Amino acid sequence: MSGPNTSAADYQAAGYCLFRDVLDVEEIRAVNAELDVLVRDMPETMVVYKDGVNQEVPARPEYLTEPHAGKAAWLELCRHPRILDAVEAVLGPDLILIMSHVISKRPGDGLPVAWHQDNTYWHSVQGTEVGTVWLALDDADLANGCMQVIPCTHEGYPEMDKVSTGKNDLLGLTVEVTPDMEEAAVPLEMKAGSLSIHDSYVLHGSDPNTSDRRRAAYTMRYANARTVTVDTREHWVPVYLVRGEGGARESEYVDLRPGRALPGGLA
Ligand SMILES: O=C(O)CCC(=O)C(=O)O
């Protein structure tokens, strides 16, 4: 098993890249204080897309979706200059923020995430240059269910079929992988404050958290605004222009480039 790719220049070929020590201890402490509030305020049940349909399930901290659309601190984090520098290094200077999701796996209880591609879940998003920042809010390793990727599986941008896992996991669906593919998986072990970016077509997933430590991460999804368009009538949250030019649909996006005020109405 080879080590993780840490060269932005190799992102296109590998389908992911790891950036170490992007946020410092104080910054991560502040994000974790916001996460405590999200978990404290979780409702009893949540509607999640699972097994191919929207379902109401008992609330769990793996399903804290789109906090940036309602809370200023999360939206501000999504345009943190050092995070956007990493995104720009792999997706270019024109960037839209399209989604976000906190996935917090409780100690000894965190759900696995079966092998999947992201793009097949996002029908409102057209284009291939879409990447997810996976920001570690805790130290993440194999024991607490760090994310793993199967490098290069995005090549040619295939749309792989999904089948039911029949298990209690985050998505309820999986792409079937061969033992050879599984053997090639790279665990993205990292310290809190580091992040990886993965292509929306590359296969990735994670094991359950069997350790006595939490494993929380904040995933922020970005796209190249010149080559990717989002149908804002179909999309479930606003799309934010965070850097550069917005392309053909710029007028439909919320302008959140440096210096712009956050939208009103956020908590
Ligand atoms: O956090 C995980 O374990 C999985 C994350 C994931 O599937 C994603 O960010 O698309």
Check which CATH number belongs to the domain holding 164 and give it.
2.60.120.620
- Structural domain contains residue 36: yes
- Structural domain contains residue 124: yes
Q: What pLDDT does 267 receive?
A: 87
Domain count, the chain: 1
Does residue 119 have a pLDDT over 70? yes
Q: Which atom of ligand 1 is nearest to 101's Cα? A: 9
Q: 102, 219, 221, 222: which to mutate for ligand 1, most atoms within 8 A of CB? A: 219
- Structural domain contains residue 237: yes
User: Is the C-alpha dihedral spanning 233, 235, 238, 240 positive or negative?
Assistant: negative
Domain membership of residue 32 as a residue range: 8-255
- Structural domain contains residue 266: no
- Structural domain contains residue 2: no
Strands 254-255, 240-243: pairing is parallel
pLDDT (tens digit per residue) in 212-224: 999 999 999 999 9
43-70 average pLDDT score: 91
- Structural domain contains residue 105: yes
Q: What pLDDT does 2 receive?
A: 61
Does residue 207 have a pLDDT over 70? yes
- Structural domain contains residue 265: no
At 43, is the pLDDT very low, low, confident or very high (cuts 50, 70, 90)?
very high
d(CA 260, CA 267): 17
Average pLDDT, the chain: 96
41-64 average pLDDT score: 90
* 259 CA → ligand 1 middle, Å: 31
Does residue 1 have a pLDDT over 80? no
- Structural domain contains residue 186: yes
